[in-house]
Structure 1
Amino acid sequence: MDFALSEEQEMIVATTRSFVENELYPHEAELEETGVLRPELRDALKAKAIETGLYAANMPEDVGGAGLDTLTWVLYERELGRTSYALHWNCVGRPSNILLACTPEQRERYLFPSIRGEKSDCLALTEPDVGSDLRGMKTTARADGSDFVINGTKHFISHADEADFVILFAASGEEEGPRGKRKLITAFLIDKDTPGYTVRAGYKNVSHRGYNNCILEFSDCRVPATQVLGEVHKGFEVANEWLGATRLQVAATCIGRAKRALDLAMQWAVDRVQFGQQIGKFQGVSFKLADMALELKAAELLTLEAAWKFDQKTVTDMDMAMAKLKATEMLAMVADEAIQIHGGMGLMSDLPLERIWRDARVERIWEGTSEIQRHIISRAMLRPLGG
């Protein structure tokens, strides 16, 4: 097994890290203090990302993206993850791969403008009374002639305030399943200015300042059938293909932040002197560093293996669940221990550690909670045995 990176991969890692450190790091303090990513700053950084070739790097070459394989894309996401979500997501956009399901006409209207940085998308699955149970969603899409009429509410929808259109999932019918009736889901592309579609401010939260969550309301929102993404009643098939990749993305960005936290902790262990010696020479600190490095390496190897298997078309849901679970829980541990090593200084906003610590909390919840990941893993283990 070859663990070495290719020359191209090394170049992509170096280019992405340089962009993050030189173009994005300088704006972290402003973002944390104000909670707002200024539109003029966003647009300037977006233009630099496009010029550098980092924008839409997750998309295939034949549609105008960089055409990164999954392993290289994960390495790229790892470097972007070193900074705040508002900066790396809103300024170095990665359009949802679910847009590859667009029809030719939809590609001209949504996919290609998103890749060029002219439009941006958001994805709406979660509802106020529905978390991990997607089949329980209450937002409905009722067929009415050649249109669909949509009613319902979505919440916790990331960066919907920035997005030009939403990829919406709604219940469009029912079918008989092993446990009785279950809802059929359809995906739609809906423009922000569509009558009956309203974007409202979401909830204040501790994680990812400037990267806002929003509430989406649909009241007799009428969209033509040409706005269906994929096939009617086949929204789950579209979503499942997308969800696995996002779990790897979350894992990769967590690894990037953990690496930054560990780097800061290591430097502090060398620079900080107590009782006449560097604190890194005390076992209470040095053993923490060893455990942090061990957990980080384990998470990184799980994530890179899953990405490699994705390219080989051998990846399983269990592989991606393991990567997401390990990386998100590892980040919580590394961020906490990094603050402990810094003492009181770790909680001060002079350092990025308190932000990394706050931001880490949501990672074990969104894109599938830790409990959901454990369910996926355990079911994959037991099912072959008849469990």
Structure 2
Amino acid sequence: MDFSLTDEQRLIVDTTRAFVENELYPHELEVERTGVLRPDLVEELKAKALEAGLYAANIPEEAGGAGLDTVTWLLYERELGRASYALHWTCVARPSNILMAGTDAQKEKYLYPCVRGEKADALAMTEPGAGSDLRGMATTAVRDGDDWVINGTKHFISHAEEADFCIVFAATGEEDGPRGKRKKMTAFFVDKGHPGFAIRPGYRNVAHRGYPNAILEFDDCRVPSDAVLGEVDKGFDVANNWLGATRLQVAATCLGRAERAMEHSVEWAATRKQFNQPIGKFQGISFKLADMATEMKAAELMTLEAAWKFDQGTVTDSDMAMAKLKATEMLAMVADEAIQIHGGMGLMDELPLERIWRDARLERIWEGTSEIQRHIISRALLRPLGG
């Protein structure tokens, strides 16, 4: 098995790393201390990302994106993940791949403007009473003539306030399942400012400053039939077909942040002196570094193997769940140990470690909690034996 990078992959990694260090790092402290990502800064960095060819790298070439294979895309995501989430996600946007499921007219209206940096999207699934259990969602869409009428509430919706439109999932009926009735879902495009659609400020949280969440309210929100994304009642199929690799995206960004924390830790251990010698000479510190490096290597290999299998068409839900589980829990461990190695200095915002430590907590929750990932993995092991 060849683990080396191609010349093209090295170029993408180097270009992305340079952009992150030169264009994003300098603004991290401002975003962390103010909790705000200035709109003028977004436009400035977006223009630079577009010029550098780093925008919409996850979208196929035929749609105007970079058309990266999954392995190369995740190498790129790992480099972006080294920076503040608000900066790398908002200013170097990767439009949701689910937009590829749209009709030609929908692509003209939504996908292509996102690729060009003219519009931004937000994905609305989670509700106050439906997180991991998406079929428990209470938001409904009822057909009324040629229209659909949407009612309900979504929350924890990332960057909805900055988005020009949302892709909203709603219950549109029921079907018989192995455990009785279950809801059928449909995805809809809903433009910002559409009658009956309101965006409210979300919850204050400890992680990802400058990258707010929002609450979406739908009150008899009437949309036309051509607002349906994919097929009616096939929302789960649309999501499964186009959103599968998002768990690998989370894993890749975790690798980037862990690498940054590790670099700070190694440098500190080699230069910080106590008792007349570098603290890295003490096993209490050196063994931490060894454990951190081992966990990082394991997470990297699992993530890139899953990406390779994704490109071969052989990846399983279990492969992606393992990668997401390992990488997110690895980041939590590495971030915590990095702060321990730095002592009190690790908690000061002069270094990025306290931000990495805070932000790491969310990774084990969104895109499927660690418990959901373990359920997916264990189900794949037990089902063939009737368990």
TM-score relative to the length of structure 2: 1.00
Helix, strand or coil for the counterpart of 1:94? coil
Q: Which letter maps to 1:28? A: E
Helix, strand or coil for the counterpart of 2:245? helix
Q: Which letter maps to 2:260? A: R
* Maintained 8 Å contact 1:270/1:279: yes
Match of 2:198 in 1: 198
Helix, strand or coil for the counterpart of 2:205? coil
**In 1: Cα distance, 2:96 partner to 2:129 partner:** 25
**1:148-197 CA deviation, whole Å, 9 max, x = no partner?**
00000000000001100001000001111111111000000110011000
Helix, strand or coil for the counterpart of 2:186? strand
Q: Are residues 1:286 and 2:286 paired?
A: yes
1:130 positional shift = 1.2
* Maintained 8 Å contact 1:270/1:280: yes
Q: Are residues 1:263 and 2:263 paired?
A: yes
* Maintained 8 Å contact 1:243/1:367: no
Match of 2:42 in 1: 42
Match of 2:385 in 1: 385
**In 1: Cα distance, 2:279 partner to 2:96 partner:** 45
1:244 positional shift = 2.0
**In 2: Cα distance, 1:135 partner to 1:121 partner:** 23
Q: How does 1:1-387 map to 2 (within 5 A)?
A: 1-387=1-387
**In 2: Cα distance, 1:118 partner to 1:99 partner:** 15
**1:85-129 CA deviation, whole Å, 9 max, x = no partner?**
110000000000000001000010001000000000000000001
**In 2: Cα distance, 1:168 partner to 1:82 partner:** 30
Q: Which letter maps to 1:226? A: D
Helix, strand or coil for the counterpart of 1:244? coil
RMSD between aligned residues: 0.5
* Maintained 8 Å contact 1:75/1:252: yes
**In 2: Cα distance, 1:162 partner to 1:17 partner:** 26
State the number of aligned residues.
387
1:278 positional shift = 0.4
* Maintained 8 Å contact 2:58/2:65: yes
Helix, strand or coil for the counterpart of 2:190? strand
1:243 positional shift = 3.4
**1:2-39 CA deviation, whole Å, 9 max, x = no partner?**
00000000000000000000000000000001000000
* Maintained 8 Å contact 1:16/1:54: yes
Q: Which letter maps to 1:204? A: R
**1:243-290 CA deviation, whole Å, 9 max, x = no partner?**
321100000000000000000000000110000100001000000000
1:143 positional shift = 0.3
**In 2: Cα distance, 1:348 partner to 1:244 partner:** 37
**In 2: Cα distance, 1:262 partner to 1:138 partner:** 43
* Maintained 8 Å contact 1:364/1:370: yes
Helix, strand or coil for the counterpart of 1:156? strand
1:131 positional shift = 1.2
Helix, strand or coil for the counterpart of 1:216? strand
* Maintained 8 Å contact 2:98/2:243: no
* Maintained 8 Å contact 1:160/1:166: yes
Helix, strand or coil for the counterpart of 1:209? coil
**In 2: Cα distance, 1:267 partner to 1:242 partner:** 41
**In 2: Cα distance, 1:290 partner to 1:306 partner:** 25
**In 1: Cα distance, 2:255 partner to 2:41 partner:** 26
> How much identity, in percent, do the aligned residues show?
76
**In 2: Cα distance, 1:214 partner to 1:193 partner:** 15
Q: Which letter maps to 1:174? A: E
**In 2: Cα distance, 1:138 partner to 1:243 partner:** 22
Helix, strand or coil for the counterpart of 1:295? helix
* Maintained 8 Å contact 2:97/2:243: no
1:241 positional shift = 2.2
**In 2: Cα distance, 1:181 partner to 1:382 partner:** 24
